[in-house]
Structure 1
Amino acid sequence: MSEHENRFAALEAKISDAGLDAFLISTKDSIFYFTNFRYEPFERPFFIVVRPGTAPIFLTPRIEAENMATIAIPHEIIEYIDYPAPAGGTYLEALHRILPTASQIGVEMSITGELLVGLEDWSPRVLPLVEQLRMIKSETEIAAIRKAAKYSDLGLKLAMDIARLGDQISETDRANVMLREEIVREEGRLDPYISSIWQGIWAAPYSAQPHRFPEPEDTLTEGPNVGLSFLRVNGYSAETERTFFVAPPRSEDVEVFNTMVEAGRIGFSQLRPGVSCHDIDHKVMEFLRSEGFGNNLLHRVGHGIGMGGHEGPWVAEGSDDVLQENMVISIEPGIYWRGQGGFRHSDTVLISADGYELLTDMPHDISSMTFGT
């Protein structure tokens, strides 16, 4: 079987284990995951109806039927007229012809509220079956993430090479163009439907606000700056972040920086199959709290990476996830000092049979992250 047929087979097993008759796939990334088909649902619902032991049914608006016929996975196509549509031509009437309302069906966690309301006749169960499958990466997926990690490192390096004391952040925007050109040169394409390239620099003291988008006029001054390369290349994602300085760091900055690096080391030291994601985050947070930074913590240690830049498993206190071989996660403990700046490195990490492998490869030490001095 092809990789995509294997994915359908694995989902069928989960459907049977959950006691369901069918599972409905409806979101952009899940459609791509199961079919390698680039599709944007927009307002016209599209479902892949998966039932154990039978070929999947693609319930599609008529405008998409010809496109859907090109998908290599064995399937059946059932059309509806449009959305909205007159009686006899709606997606719900077509779905009723496939699934009696007595059917036990499941839907994705990320289904839209509108579709969930539309499916109320079936009383669907919202289950993370697809999300669970996506956590474990195939060799093909790992190879794609390796490429993304390489470009993630390159993007951050390009941005930091441009950064100079006194420059506005807009000066580093050239790195985005340079990275796109390099990816196209190496890969032959950067598919806009399943790719995104973003690099940003949070200049101190705004680096203490990791979810404040940098403004073009933000200026690089003394203090900790955080550079982020966050991208998806032809379907798969990676991220690299580093705290860096464009002037000699102050002694207090060195102390906090080194504490952040040690927190990351503690996180890395725990990475292997069978380890609780809660425990990883808890040990890192306990260390940071013991160092006096309890009021300077804004987020968990990490998250999963795959097609999405943020997906399960969640490396966080309270998480039920357990690491398994071929999961890909970030490790990114951060310390945030309002008025001074933020301190965060982030790496993309593959969980291996007996530990982990760093897919991103940039220095962590403060000497390597100090420029222009």
Structure 2
Amino acid sequence: MTGTAAPAPFTADDYRARLARAARAAADAGLAGLLVAPGPDLVWLTGYTPTAATERLTLLVLAPGRDPVLVVPTLEAADAEKAPGAPALTLRDWTDGKDPYALTAALLDGSGRFGVSDNAWALHLLALQRTLPGTSYAALTEALPMLRAVKDAAELDRLAAAGAAADATFEEIRNVRFGGRREAEVAADLDRLLREHGHTVVDFTIVAAGPNGADPHHEAGDRVIADGDMVVLDFGGLLGGYGSDTSRTVHVGTPTDEERRVHDLVREAQEAGFRAVRPGVACQEVDRAARAVIERAGYGPYFIHRTGHGIGVTTHEPPYMIEGERQPLVPGMCFSVEPGIYLPGRFGVRVEDIVTVTEEGGRRLNDTERELVVVD
């Protein structure tokens, strides 16, 4: 790994504090408790990731005024006991042939509304409903959308390290040859560089050349990148358990005046979105600030996605910078600011940084060149 040293791991006390914070948030939201299945919420609350997501029930039961309990299959109990947050939990295991829903039901009141992690299996949720017909459920993104949104100092350090590694990746990729190579070959270079700079997981490596750049989620394929192509690069993953996500648009050879003008508009829109970041401002104002620049120039119909998304233990999570999101920005929130213009059949442009909210305004966690970069 190049770059900075790996951050110190989170401790049982860190997870204990998160569990208490989540229980308080559940009580404040009028919930009887939280039911957390394997996924990003469970990782954030306990540090535990099962070896495989299976039909066997694994569930964190978190209720105000009660000790948190992790229900796990017996064959996975030994692994669960090794999780960094395990000392903050009580483990209850169950064996094949037993009823894990009856075990879970005994930990809950017979009625009430519970928050459930978004990725819980329907198989398990429906079984709990049958066992406890007096209960009801709400997705955590709906019930507690800001649970993981405000990062502490240690989390911010991890996000900054991930952002720096993504920046180092861009500084190297801009010097490789693009012309005459397939998109998939450049994507493989991005994957390799992210890992060389410390990423343990690479989530995506978008390389979208020419007309493919008009598809914001284009997957790199066999198209050969040609001289005159605009190329959208969007890449990221996890370093130290926290995400990176950055986009830059490069050009193979000399760009046309129109291509420069569109890129300048997107860069100006990205700057306007960043400048709108400050405590107390509604999330939608970041979207409005970026979108206004593009709309005034007549390209409004070609900006076809939200301006940003939160980032943390996953690369997409609340808060979202989108019209209608009135959640105020709070110091410690981290999210992307990534306007774009997409001209069907021609080219696309996107410029993206991760930004964190500070007491004074915003701070970028990506700082590579935002001007149009010309590559070979």
Work out whether the TM-score is over 0.5. Answer: yes
Q: Deviation of residue 340 (structure 1)? A: 1.7
Question: Which residue does 2:170 correspond to in 1?
Answer: 156
| Contact 1:4–1:73 (CA under 8 A) maintained in structure 2 | no
1:62-81 matched pairs, under 5 angstroms = 62-71=74-83, 72-81=86-95
1:305-320 matched pairs, under 5 angstroms = 305-320=311-326
| Contact 2:208–2:232 (CA under 8 A) maintained in structure 1 | yes
Question: Which residue does 1:135 correspond to in 2?
Answer: 149
Matched, 1:8 2:19: yes
Question: Which residue does 1:370 correspond to in 2?
Answer: 374
SS of aligned partner of 2:92:
strand
Moved more, 67-76 or 340-349: 67-76
| Contact 2:169–2:197 (CA under 8 A) maintained in structure 1 | no
Q: Give me the whole-angstrom Cα distance separating, in 2, the residues matched to 1:207 and 1:182.
A: 26
Moved more, 126-135 or 61-70: 126-135
Q: Deviation of residue 305 (structure 1)? A: 0.9
Matched, 1:96 2:111: no
Q: Deviation of residue 277 (structure 1)? A: 1.2
Q: Give me the whole-angstrom Cα distance separating, in 1, the residues matched to 2:134 and 2:82.
A: 30
Q: Give me the whole-angstrom Cα distance separating, in 2, the residues matched to 1:143 and 1:327.
A: 13
Q: Give me the whole-angstrom Cα distance separating, in 2, the residues matched to 1:240 and 1:300.
A: 15
Matched, 1:213 2:219: yes
Q: Deviation of residue 130 (structure 1)? A: 5.4
SS of aligned partner of 1:257:
helix
Q: Deviation of residue 104 (structure 1)? A: 4.4
1:1-373 matched pairs, under 5 angstroms = 2-39=13-50, 40-71=52-83, 72-82=86-96, 85=97, 89-120=98-129, 121-128=133-140, 131-172=145-186, 173-183=188-198, 190=200, 195-366=201-372, 369-372=373-376
Cα gap change, 1:44/1:220 in structure 2, threshold over 3 Å: closer, same or farther?
farther
Deviations 1:233-265 (A, max 9, x none): 231101111111111000111111111111111
Question: Which residue does 1:187 correspond to in 2?
Answer: none
Q: TM-score by structure 2 length?
A: 0.88
Q: Give me the whole-angstrom Cα distance separating, in 2, the residues matched to 1:104 and 1:215.
A: 46
Q: Give me the whole-angstrom Cα distance separating, in 2, the residues matched to 1:96 and 1:197.
A: 36
Q: Deviation of residue 100 (structure 1)? A: 4.0
| Contact 2:269–2:290 (CA under 8 A) maintained in structure 1 | yes
Q: Deviation of residue 312 (structure 1)? A: 0.7
Deviations 1:298-336 (A, max 9, x none): 111111111111111000112232211010110110001
Q: Deviation of residue 69 (structure 1)? A: 2.4
Q: TM-score by structure 1 length?
A: 0.89
Question: Which residue does 2:6 correspond to in 1?
Answer: none
Deviations 1:335-363 (A, max 9, x none): 01112200111111111111111111101
Aligned identity (percent) is 25
Q: Give me the whole-angstrom Cα distance separating, in 1, the residues matched to 2:326 and 2:109.
A: 35
Cα gap change, 1:197/1:220 in structure 2, threshold over 3 Å: closer, same or farther?
farther
Q: Give me the whole-angstrom Cα distance separating, in 2, the residues matched to 1:109 and 1:200.
A: 26
| Contact 1:209–1:336 (CA under 8 A) maintained in structure 2 | yes
Cα gap change, 1:75/1:335 in structure 2, threshold over 3 Å: closer, same or farther?
same
Q: Deviation of residue 183 (structure 1)? A: 2.0
- Stretches of structure 2 lacking an aligned partner (at least 5 in a row): 1-11
| Contact 1:204–1:221 (CA under 8 A) maintained in structure 2 | no
Question: Which residue does 2:3 correspond to in 1?
Answer: none
| Contact 1:169–1:220 (CA under 8 A) maintained in structure 2 | no
Cα gap change, 1:354/1:224 in structure 2, threshold over 3 Å: closer, same or farther?
same
Cα gap change, 1:104/1:229 in structure 2, threshold over 3 Å: closer, same or farther?
closer
Q: Give me the whole-angstrom Cα distance separating, in 1, the residues matched to 2:194 and 2:109.
A: 51
Q: Give me the whole-angstrom Cα distance separating, in 1, the residues matched to 2:134 and 2:71.
A: 16
Q: Deviation of residue 278 (structure 1)? A: 1.3
Q: Give me the whole-angstrom Cα distance separating, in 2, the residues matched to 1:167 and 1:11.
A: 49
Question: Which residue does 2:9 correspond to in 1?
Answer: none
Q: Give me the whole-angstrom Cα distance separating, in 1, the residues matched to 2:117 and 2:161.
A: 28
Cα gap change, 1:131/1:163 in structure 2, threshold over 3 Å: closer, same or farther?
farther
Count of residues in correspondence between the two structures: 356
| Contact 1:246–1:371 (CA under 8 A) maintained in structure 2 | yes
SS of aligned partner of 1:79:
strand
SS of aligned partner of 1:149:
helix
